[in-house]
Amino acid sequence: MGMIGEALFLGGMSALAGILVYKKSGPRVKKFVVDHPLMSEAGSTILAFLVMGGGVTAIMGASVCCVCISGALYVAKNKEDFEWLDDALKRCNGHLGELKEFIKEKNAEYLASKEA
């Protein structure tokens, strides 16, 4: 995969973790993060670099994390410009619900065939 691929993966996972923490946090924390994007980006970049260890891969991964977090903060601040993204996420969540039901049905069928 190489150093660049590893950096992209690590940076993307770090950014995803930051986005998930943002989604789960309270309204005061969300407002602070959106109102202070430079501090948020710097904090996420430094944290990503420290978590990844050090070296060239960590620097590239932290850069990828910074770009992803910057984009996510822009979307969070300008929600009216990205209503299509919210609609797409709602559709994906609907499909995930269908997938969960399908998996439950198949699991029940499997358990029933195993007991017979």
For the chain, the domains span: 1-77, 79-116
Check if the beta carbon of residue 11 is closer than 8 Å to that of residue 68. Answer: yes
The structure tokens listed for 99 are 């997938």
Contact indicator for 11, 62 with CB cutoff of 8 Å: yes
Evaluate if residue 28 carries a pLDDT over 90.
yes
Per-residue pLDDT band for 108 (boundaries 50, 70, 90) equals: very high
What mean pLDDT value characterizes the chain?
85
Name the band, by pLDDT with cuts 50, 70 and 90, for residue 104. Answer: very high
Q: Give me the DSSP letters along 102-113.
A: HHHHHHHHHHHH
The string of pLDDT tens digits covering residues 31-74 is 888 888 888 888 888 888 787 777 887 888 888 888 888 888 88
